[in-house]
Structure 1
Amino acid sequence: MHQDMTDLFGGAPTIKALSVWEPWASLIAAGVKRHETRHWETTYRGPIAIQAARTLDLAGAPDQLCQDVLGPLWPKERPRGRVVAVAYLSDCIPTDRVLQELTAADREAGNYAAGRFAWRLDDIRPLTEPIPLTGRQGLFNWEQPQDLRERLEAPRDHHRACTKVGWA
């Protein structure tokens, strides 16, 4: 766990949050999507809440990966409008510099076109029960609940999660 993740529980009452369309947010929470790709760069590094936006992207969703990871209830039972995980945003890298280290799941679950940025997420910790939150554009502040620590599951190991579903 990154040192700054401990501050999540005893330091500032707010942390940064990012709205991510479904199924991408659930794939992050499951530990198989380690990079969130964006057309814009950020200098922020630290704890970040992953909010599953209300938008469900069925047209762009990698259907087989979603079925393998999210199960037979895909796409019906998706947590939308809720924080589904907390992670540590450790880097923001031009996509052309990250291609060699990607797993099959990461490749399938991201847009790595030229000119985009891969936001590297470490210490991904899903919530035992998603927390309602209205999303916003860009990074925004989220006032974390006092019991957030008790709501977090163990961190997801990216390679283990991908191997488990056959997407290493």
Structure 2
Amino acid sequence: MPETQLPPVRGLTVKQPWAWAITTGKNVENRSWKVPEKYIGATLLVHAGLQPAPGAFQDERILALPAMPEVLAAGAVLAVARLAGCHREEDGCCAPWGDADAFHWQLEDVRPLPEPLQYTGALSLWTPSPALLQKVQAVR
């Protein structure tokens, strides 16, 4: 990538409570697919999906985090992060957040937004609208 070309900003929809966990220290997002190399270094908008992850609210890693809010945002951008890398799980790496048989998307510089920004996410990596990017900049 030429030095003048910055990685794109993309949105990543994550089911709750995993999206909330990213705002409180979860630094790995588990996916079944490898992120394309061109997105390494990209800014990600961490978006909470509308549907919760089945069984995740009883996951020991979630229960070990600070007290969860009574109501978790859904259908909203919660944080901004940098996608620092992606690798296949190997020998229990990325504990405690990395799952076996998954690609580990490494997140760095996670900055929760002061308030969730309602927005419709999508599957895979999605392109945020210019209006959403302006709102994110305004509240950061």
Give the TM-score taking structure 1 as reference length: 0.67
- Equivalent of 1:118, from 99, 104, 124? 104
Alignment of 1:31-70 (within 5 A): 32-43=25-36, 44-45=39-40, 46-63=42-59, 65-70=61-66
Cα RMSD, aligned residues only: 2.5
Structure 2, unmatched stretches of 5+, are 1-5
Partner of 1:127: 113
- Partners of 1:77 and 1:141 in 2: CA distance: 27
Which protein has the bigger helix share?
A: 1
Deviation track 1:33-55 (CA, whole Å, cap 9, x = no partner) reads 10001000012221010100011
- Cα–Cα, structure 1 residues 64 and 95, in superposed 2: closer, same or farther, change >3 Å? closer
- Equivalent of 2:83, from 65, 89, 96? 89
- Partners of 2:68 and 2:107 in 1: CA distance: 26
Structure 1, unmatched stretches of 5+, are 1-6, 9-13, 153-168
Deviation track 1:60-89 (CA, whole Å, cap 9, x = no partner) reads 33455435535263xx31011000001000
Give the TM-score taking structure 2 as reference length: 0.80
Runs of 4+ in 1 over 4 A off after TM superposition: 62-65
- Cα–Cα, structure 1 residues 88 and 98, in superposed 2: closer, same or farther, change >3 Å? farther
